[in-house]
Amino acid sequence: MPVPATVGYIPPVSTAEQAPDPVRDPWRQAMRLAVREARLAAEGGDVPVGAVVLAPDGTTVLASGHNEREATGDPTAHAEVLAIRRAAAALGEWRLTGCTLVVTLEPCTMCAGALVQSRVDRVVYGARDEKAGAAGSLWDVVRDRRLNHRPEVIEGVLADECAQQLTSFFRDR
Ligand SMILES: [Zn+2]
C-alpha cells in the first residue's frame, strides 16, 4: 500500500478490501481515537492534529491531546506535547517508558524532541509532513543515532484518512 507523500495528497477513493498489514493494523484503533481528537482541534479553529498516548499494554489510553495553538495562544500547544504532558501527569513521572504515542501527522522538530525526552518506546503516525516532518521526512530526529534514546517509528497508519482531514481543513478555510 503506497503511503501518501504529502499532507496535500488526496488519495483515490477505493472500496476494495485492503490486504492485512501486521505492522500497522494493531494501531488502527488508537489512530481512530487520534483522528477523533483532531476533530476537536478543527472545531476550535486549530489545524486538525490529534494524539493519544497508550500505556505499555498498547491499548489503554493514558492521555490525549489536540492542537490548541489558536485556542490557547501557546506556540508549543501541539497535540503531541499536550498528550505527553498529560500522560506524564497521569503516571506521576516524566518517563513514559514502554508507552506509545499515536498522532495523526508526522511530528515536527519540537514534538520529535519532546518524544525523545519523554522516553516513549514508540511513535506511530498517520500522514507524512514533507514540509516540516521530523520523524522521517525532512529530518529524522527520533531516530538520530547521535541521541541515546531512539523510539521505534511506525508511519502510514490510516494515512489517507489523516491526510484528508488536513486537506479538507485547509480547503474549507
Ligand atoms: Zn509539533
Q: Which tens digits make up the pLDDT trace of 60-109?
A: 999 999 999 999 999 999 999 999 999 999 999 999 999 999 999 999 99
- Residues of each annotated binding site for Zn(2+): 78, 108, 111
Q: Is 155 a catalytic residue?
A: no
pLDDT at 14 over 90: no
Strand locations in the chain (E): 50-54, 61-66, 100-105, 122-127, 152-155
| Euclidean distance between CA atoms 68 and 44, whole angstroms | 8
Predicted TM-score (pTM) of the model is: 0.89
* pLDDT tier at 170, thresholds 50, 70, 90: very high
Query: What is the arithmetic mean of pLDDT over 130-136?
Result: 96
pLDDT at 4 over 60: no
- How much of the chain exceeds pLDDT 70, in percent? 90
* pLDDT tier at 172, thresholds 50, 70, 90: confident
| Euclidean distance between CA atoms 34 and 72, whole angstroms | 20
Q: What is the pLDDT of residue 65?
A: 98
Say if residues 127 and 3 touch (Cβ distance below 8 Å): no
Question: What's the mean pLDDT when you consider all of the chain?
Answer: 92
* pLDDT tier at 12, thresholds 50, 70, 90: low
For ligand 1, the distance from its centroid to the CA atom of residue 18, given in whole angstroms, is 30
3-class SS at 102?
Answer: strand
Catalytic, out of 37, 68, 80, 155: 80
Q: What is the pLDDT of residue 16?
A: 56
